[in-house]
Amino acid sequence: MQKVTVKGKWIQLMGIIGCALCMTSCKQTPDAQVKSDYAVMQVKTADKELSSSYSATIRGRQDVDIYPQVSGTIERLCVTEGEKVRRGQLLFVIDQVPYKAALTTAIANVEAAKAGLATAELTYNSTKELYARKVVSQFNLQTAQNTYLTAKAQLSQAEAQEVNARNNLSYTEVKSPSDGVVGALPYRAGALVSPNLPQPLTTVSDNADMYVYFSMTENQLLSLTREYGNMEEALANMPEVELRLNDNSVYDKKGKIESISGVIDRQTGTVVARAVFPNESRLLHSGASGNVVIPSIYKDCIVIPQGATVQLQNKTIVYKVVDGKATSTLITVAGINNGREYIVLDGLTPGDEIVSSGAGLVREGTQIK
């Protein structure tokens, strides 16, 4: 009876092992099928637009700091902060009383100098006649001539002082040098001002158009230059750019890149570019910040997902499907991407079939389908 029991247990054990092997085999078969089930896509051409964003600062086309050219007390403010002004419009009036008095004195000095010159001229002419008759000596003649020349010089000096006095009086009326918008007004009526103020009376910002300055790295500059052939072509043919404001909204007017610096900053390794945006609505303010968004438009290009690529030693590889098997292929992609897709410049042709995702798990010769 004991032998029969041992034999029965042995049969049961073999049955359990057989079932386990069968179950393991059944589990492994679907796994192998999943691992060989790769997504594939057929390469096609399409138009694609990608964009690059650059931090930027906004400046008025012309920001002019206004300083007085004469010293004195502010008598009157003629504008308010944020007011739109025209070129030549009166901004401030500085106390004119001392400058009017100086002008009156200068005018009187001119009249006196004219009278002195007339007297010296009469004396000189009279002395010349007397010298011709040998009534006076050459010394008297020379003295009269010197007196005449001195009076003539004094008149010129007095006239120059009159011009200076008139200018100083005109400087008491501080006018806007350009069209623009008035900035802060730190000085009020009664404040004593001079040309050596620590801060300007105000700043007039010409903000009909706004300059937006941003920096590009050397690699970005090279990529842009290669895309268009040269810098002149790039500036002439680049599409209009967008401006994303600090609140993440997009400005409703598009701008144009006008210039790119030809010198790379040694410390930052960047170049400064300037775009100009219209500002009829006066939404943009000098000193604000934002981001310039530059689009890059590619016509009839090949676009593939980044998951279809593998990066090996700064090289980009995709796997073509040839006769059902994976074949690695080196490709060249554009320097600009949106984080999800690459634009292929070389290495693929329309109609090629590639592994579209999970390329990092594929090996050369892997059976794809």
pLDDT of residue 8: 52
**What letter does residue 234 receive in the DSSP assignment?**
H
Residue 305 near residue 348 (C-beta atoms within 8 A): no
The one-letter code for the residue type at 335 is G
Under 8 Å between Cβ of 92 and 188: no
pTM as predicted: 0.59
Flag whether pLDDT at 332 surpasses 70.
yes
pLDDT value, residue 361? 87
- What are the pLDDT digits (tens) for 92-137? 999 999 999 999 999 999 999 999 999 999 999 999 999 999 999 9
208 pLDDT more than 80: yes
Residue 319, phi-psi category: left (phi > 0), alpha (psi -120 to 50), beta (remainder): beta
Q: pLDDT per residue over 164-196, tens digit each?
A: 999 999 999 999 998 889 999 999 999 999 999
Give per-residue pLDDT as tens, 37-94: 788 999 999 988 888 889 999 998 888 999 999 999 999 999 999 899 999 999 999 9
Give the tens place of pLDDT for each residue, 210-259: 999 999 888 878 877 877 788 888 888 888 999 999 999 999 999 999 99
**Residue 215, beta-bridge partner list:** 272
Average pLDDT estimate for 298-316: 90
Secondary structure of residue 9 in the 3-state scheme: helix
- Domains, the chain, with CATH or none: 40-48+300-361 (2.40.420.20), 53-60+204-297 (2.40.30.170), 68-94+174-199 (2.40.50.100), 97-171 (1.10.287)
Backbone angles phi, psi at 148, to 5 degrees: -65, -45
Mean pLDDT of 300-313: 91
Confidence of residue 304 (pLDDT cuts 50, 70, 90): very high
